[in-house]
Amino acid sequence: MASASAEYLMFEAPIAEYLGERALTEVEIGEISVVVRNTSGDSMSSAVISVELRRRYIFFMTSTYFPTMLLLLIGYGTLYIRLQMFQVRSIMSLTTLLVLTSLYTQTAASLPKTSYLKAIDVWLLCCIIILVLIIVSHIVTDFVTDFDTTIKVFPAKAAMSPSSRRDRNCNIQNFGPMLIHLMRILVPVNFFIFNIIYWLFVCAVI
C-alpha cells in the first residue's frame, strides 16, 4: 500500500529492507530510505521509498570501452601493413568497422532511448569515424599507386619532358607512403586528445 486516507491510516516510520542481491548486472543497490508524509493539511498519508542505484562502471568498461579500444588498435595496425597488400589492409579494416558498428547497435539497443547523445554514443561514434578515416586513407593510397603505375607505361615520345615526368612520378610515388605515415601520427594523437576531453567531461558529470 503506497498511500491511504489520513482519516483511517497513519504511517509511523516504517522500515524498508531490500532482501535481494545488491550487485546487479549494470547497477548496485545502495541505501534505501523511507519518507513518511502525515500532514494535517493533506487528506492522504503516504510513505515514499527511495532506492539509491549506483552505476557499475566496470560493466561498461569491460563490455564496451575495452573491446572498442582493441578494435581500434586492430584498425590502426593496418596502417603498418605493406602498401602492396591492399586486400589484407582493406579486409582487416572493413571487418573491424563492421564489428564496431554491430557493437554500437547492440549497445544502443540495450540503453534507454533519449533525444540527446549519451557519453557512450559519443565514444563509439568517434571510434567509428577514426576507422572510416583509416579505410579512406587505404583507398586513397591504393588509388595513387594504380595511378602511378598508369603513368609509368606512357611512351617515351610523350610531350612531357623526362625530367618533369620523373618529378611528377616521384611526387605521386611519395604521396601514398606520406599519407600512411601521417595517419600513423594523427590517429593516436587525435585519439589521445579526444580521451582527455572525453574523460574530463565524464568525470565532471559524474
Would you state the pLDDT for residue 142?
A: 86
- What is the rounded average pLDDT for all residues in the chain? 79
Would you state the pLDDT for residue 113?
A: 84
24 & 71 share domain: no
13 & 85 share domain: no
Strand order across the beta sheet in which 3-5 lies = 3-5, 44-55, 27-37
| Per-residue confidence band for 190, with pLDDT thresholds at 50, 70 and 90 | very high
CATH number at residue 77: 1.20.58.390
89 & 150 share domain: yes
Would you state the pLDDT for residue 101?
A: 93
Position 167 pLDDT exceeds 60: no
CA 15/CA 19 separation, integer angstroms: 13
Tens-place pLDDT, residues 88-107: 999 999 999 999 999 999 98
Residue type, 27: V
- Quote the domain boundaries for residue 163: 58-205
121 & 182 share domain: yes
Tens-place pLDDT, residues 120-148: 999 999 999 999 999 999 999 888 877 65
201 & 121 share domain: yes
Would you state the pLDDT for residue 92?
A: 93
64 & 28 share domain: no
| Per-residue confidence band for 154, with pLDDT thresholds at 50, 70 and 90 | very low
Which cell is 150 given?
Answer: 598508369
Would you state the pLDDT for residue 110?
A: 81
153 & 85 share domain: yes
pTM over 0.95: no
74 & 164 share domain: yes
SS3 161: coil
35 & 90 share domain: no
As a whole number of angstroms, the longest Cα–Cα distance in the chain is: 108
What does the pLDDT average to over 14-30?
Answer: 74
Give buried/exposed letters for 57-72 (b at 16+ CB in 10 A, else e): eeebeebbeeebeebb
129 & 163 share domain: yes
